[in-house]
Amino acid sequence: MGKIAAPDEVLYHIGISAQMIKGAKYALLPGDPGRVEALAKALGPAEPVGCHREYTSWLSQVEGEAVLVCSTGMGGPSVAIGMEELACIGIENFIRVGTTGSIQEKVALGDIVINKAAVRLDGTSQHYAPTAFPAVASLELTYALQQAAKDLEVPYHTGISVSSDTFWPGQERYDSFTGYVRKALQGSLKEWQALGALNYEMETATLFVVAQSFGLKAASICGVVAKRTDSEQVAPADTYRLASERFQLVAKRALQDLIKAGK
For 119-159, what is each residue's pLDDT tens digit?
999 999 999 999 999 999 999 999 999 999 999 999 999 99
Q: Is residue 8 in a domain?
A: no
Say whether 182 sits in a helix, a strand or coil. Answer: coil
Domain count, the chain: 1
How far apart are alpha carbons 139 and 64 in whole angstroms?
Answer: 24
State the pTM of this model: 0.97
Q: At what angle do helices 139-152 and 237-260 cross, to 10 degrees?
A: 120
CA dihedral 162, 168, 169, 172 (to 10 degrees): 60
For β-strands 112-121 and 156-164, DSSP reports them as parallel
Give me the chain's average pLDDT, please: 97
Q: Is residue 218 in a domain?
A: yes
Q: Is residue 3 in a domain?
A: no
What domain range includes position 120? Answer: 19-260
pLDDT at residue 15, as a whole number: 98
How far apart are alpha carbons 118 and 140 in whole angstroms?
Answer: 17
Percent of the chain with pLDDT over 70: 100
For β-strands 55-62 and 46-52, DSSP reports them as antiparallel
- Indicate which residues carry an active-site annotation: 13, 85, 173, 228
Q: Is residue 170 in a domain?
A: yes
Residues 6+ apart with CB under 8 A from 133: 209, 212
How far apart are alpha carbons 145 and 251 in whole angstroms?
Answer: 7
**In terms of Cα–Cα distance, which of 184, 135, 185, 183 is closest to 161?**
135
For residues 81-92, give the mean pLDDT: 98
Residue 106 has pLDDT above 80, yes or no: yes
- CATH number for the domain that contains residue 249: 3.40.50.1580
Cβ distance 58 to 51 under 8 Å? no
Q: Is residue 148 in a domain?
A: yes
Q: Is residue 4 in a domain?
A: no
For residues 96-114, give the mean pLDDT: 97
For residues 22-41, give the mean pLDDT: 97
For 206-243, what is each residue's pLDDT tens digit?
999 999 999 999 999 999 999 999 987 887 899 999 99
Q: Is residue 43 in a domain?
A: yes
For 167-183, what is each residue's pLDDT tens digit?
999 999 999 999 999 99
Q: Is residue 1 in a domain?
A: no
